[in-house]
């Protein structure tokens, strides 16, 4: 091969980083793959936009066919975002025997299996390392680095926006709305942060990681999702008093053949390695039966960090092209998907209640929990001055989800409970 030609779909934040890395690391890339790499075309929406890059005439185009149908383009790099129209572009690229690298978790979480099947059928590579945790090589870590092991647990802080917000709320005692505004002003949070703060962005990443880590097709709809919009400064304060840190945790756990995957704000013991992952950083804690605890840490977004993952996928594809083994990397899942039932999901729980300050309330509360075989690990009661209520905050010992939900129902029916203010899982107390 004299050179390898890349076609970019999109030249925004990540695309610009890809162009810079190809230019600035050309010597290293050429050494690894044996020939130079060049960007031949880039699809954009606005030809006049200032991209802060020196772009040769004729590279930018408004016509997707200039990328998808150009016979000289070997690899299509999709960094434009979007789901349905983008899927059609990638299916066309694969049909035209072009390898694909994408950073698009929205797309891969929904249409990953179909695209991977099309890639195999066309003997093309399709890599998507940048779609989860930006610059952290977590997908390759799961698929190659831990290929020999059986993974039982993955816990991820895989959304930088929410980690930034929770970190500021924890360290500065500020409210969710206040910190979200700062995150938007700083350019961390998107103009529409719904997918981030609502947990959907993290859920997409957990669906992708669980599919690879557990070798079964975990769909986005299999992931139970709750965001951080209801997390209050009071919850974080009480969590701190009990020795916990609040994080938006992507939790994927395997028990035998069955798995559960969720994204929700959860409390972690302060000494858990994920508790010290702060600001916009991402990290994924992985427990393997043989290796034990591992943790992958780094920037989960940003132009150059994300572009390193994209360009590394390109290098992998180019090496495969040279060896003549493209289209062989996607391995069909080994296992049929089996999700845990409610009674098979267990956790400790943090609960904050407002109760009437009257005789027998604590005894009744204890009996509701003990009737379901659940006991308290920690409990405290504070008067709420002037309200006629007390605040009770407790952490249970491990309980199954069905028992815990039954308890919540009974608490709602008990006249002395004024409100259930908040409830969170407490995770990370056990390793595997
Ligand atoms: P971005 O800055 O908005 O860039 C998108 C690019 O695609 C722009 O160049 C835009 O053209 C072009 N584009 C969008 N829709 C188009 C259309 N219909 N036709 C033609 N061109 C179109 O986005 P980004 O932040 O680079 O993100 C790109 C992808 O990477 C997304 O899937 C995102 O989820 C993923 N990702 C991003 C990050 C990150 O840190 N930003 C991290 C991990 C993964 P114009 O420039 O002309 O508007
Ligand atoms: N909005 C995402 C985040 C960007 O905050 O982590 C990376 O996927």
Residue 432 lies in a domain: no
- Pocket around ligand 2 at a 6 A CB cut-off: 134, 159-161, 196, 201, 300-301
Q: At what angle do helices 233-241 and 160-172 cross, to 10 degrees?
A: 70
Q: Which residues contact 183 (CB under 8 A, 6 or more apart)?
A: 161, 164, 165, 189, 193
The pLDDT value recorded for residue 430 is: 82
Question: How many other CB atoms sit within 10 Å of the CB of residue 243?
Answer: 14
> pLDDT (tens digit, 9 = 90+) per residue, 22-77?
999 999 999 999 999 999 999 999 999 999 999 999 999 999 999 999 999 999 99
Q: Is residue 399 part of a domain?
A: yes
Candidate list 98, 153, 168, 205, residue with the active-site label: 205
Total of domains in the chain: 3
416 confidence band (pLDDT: 50, 70, 90): very high
Domain membership of residue 152 as a residue range: 138-298
Q: What are phi and psi of 308, to 5 degrees?
A: -60, -40
Give pLDDT tens digits for 223-277.
999 999 999 999 999 999 999 999 999 999 999 999 999 999 999 999 999 999 9
Query: Is 60 annotated as a binding-site member?
Result: no
Any idea what the CATH number is for the domain that residue 163 is in?
A: 3.30.360.10
Q: What is the pLDDT of residues 135-180, one digit of tens each?
A: 999 999 999 999 999 999 999 999 999 999 999 999 999 999 999 9
The gap between the terminal CA atoms of the chain, to the nearest Å, is 47
pLDDT greater than 80 at residue 387: no
Residue 122, Ramachandran bin (φ over 0: left; ψ between -120 and 50: alpha; else beta):
alpha
Ligand nearest to the CA of 88: 1
Residue with the smallest CA separation from ligand 1 atom 24 is: 13
CA distances, 10 to each of 50, 115, 190, 381 (Å): 14, 19, 18, 55
Q: What is the pLDDT of residue 264?
A: 98
The ligand placed nearest to the CA atom of residue 205 is: 2
Q: Are residues 124 and 147 in the same domain?
A: no
Task: Note whether residue 335 is domain-resident.
Answer: no
Q: What is the pLDDT of residue 384?
A: 87
34 & 101 share domain: yes
| Residue 10 among known ligand-binding residues | yes
Residue 347 pairs in a beta bridge with 399
CATH number of the domain that residue 386 is part of: 3.30.70.260
**244 contacts 260 by C-beta, under 8 angstroms:** no
Residue 431 pLDDT level (bands cut at 50, 70, 90): confident
Cα–Cα dist 126/142, whole Å = 16
Give 14 Cα–ligand 1 centroid separation in angstroms.
Answer: 7
- Tell me: the pLDDT tens digits for 132-142? 999 999 999 99
């Amino acid at each position: 091969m004299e050179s390898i030609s890349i076609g970019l779909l999109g030249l925004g934040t990540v695309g610009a980083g890809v162009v810079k890395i190809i230019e600035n690391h050309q010597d290293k890339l050429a050494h690894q793959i044996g020939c130079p790499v060049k960007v031949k075309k880039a699809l954009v929406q606005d030809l006049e936009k200032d991209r802060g890059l020196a772009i040769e005439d004729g590279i930018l185009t408004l016509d997707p066919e200039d990328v998808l149908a150009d016979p000289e383009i070997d690899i299509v790099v999709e960094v434009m975002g979007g789901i349905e129209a983008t899927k059609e572009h990638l299916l066309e690229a694969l049909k035209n025997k072009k390898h694909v690298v994408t950073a698009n978790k929205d797309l891969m979480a929904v249409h990953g299996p179909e695209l991977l099947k099309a890639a195999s059928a066309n003997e093309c590579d399709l890599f998507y390392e940048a779609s989860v945790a930006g610059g952290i090589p977590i997908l390759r870590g799961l698929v190659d680095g831990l290929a020999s092991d059986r993974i039982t647990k993955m816990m991820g802080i895989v959304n930088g926006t929410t980690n930034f917000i929770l970190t500021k709320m924890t360290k500065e005692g500020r409210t969710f709305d206040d910190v979200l505004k700062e995150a938007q002003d700083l350019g961390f949070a998107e103009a529409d942060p719904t997918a981030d703060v609502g947990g959907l962005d993290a859920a997409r990443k957990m669906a992708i990681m669980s599919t690879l880590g557990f070798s079964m097709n975990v769909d986005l709809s299999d992931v139970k999702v709750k965001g951080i919009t209801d997390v209050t400064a009071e919850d974080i304060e009480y969590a701190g008093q009990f020795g916990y840190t609040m994080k938006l945790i992507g939790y994927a756990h395997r028990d035998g053949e069955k798995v559960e995957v969720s994204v929700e704000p959860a409390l972690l013991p302060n000494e858990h390695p994920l508790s010290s992952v702060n600001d916009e950083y991402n990290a994924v804690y992985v427990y393997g039966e043989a290796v034990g605890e591992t943790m992958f840490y780094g920037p989960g977004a940003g132009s150059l960090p994300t572009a390193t993952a994209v360009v590394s996928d390109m290098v992998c594809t180019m090496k495969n092209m040279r060896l003549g083994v493209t289209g062989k990397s996607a391995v069909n899942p080994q296992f049929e998907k089996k999700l845990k039932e409610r009674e098979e999901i267990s956790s400790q729980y943090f609960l904050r209640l407002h109760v009437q300050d009257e005789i027998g309330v604590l005894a009744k509360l204890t009996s509701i929990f003990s009737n379901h075989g659940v006991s308290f690990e920690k409990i405290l009661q504070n008067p709420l001055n002037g309200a006629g209520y007390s605040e009770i905050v407790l952490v249970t010992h491990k309980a199954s989800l069905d028992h815990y939900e039954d308890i919540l129902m009974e608490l709602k029916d008990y006249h002395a409970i004024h409100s259930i203010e908040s409830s969170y899982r407490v995770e990370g107390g056990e390793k595997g």
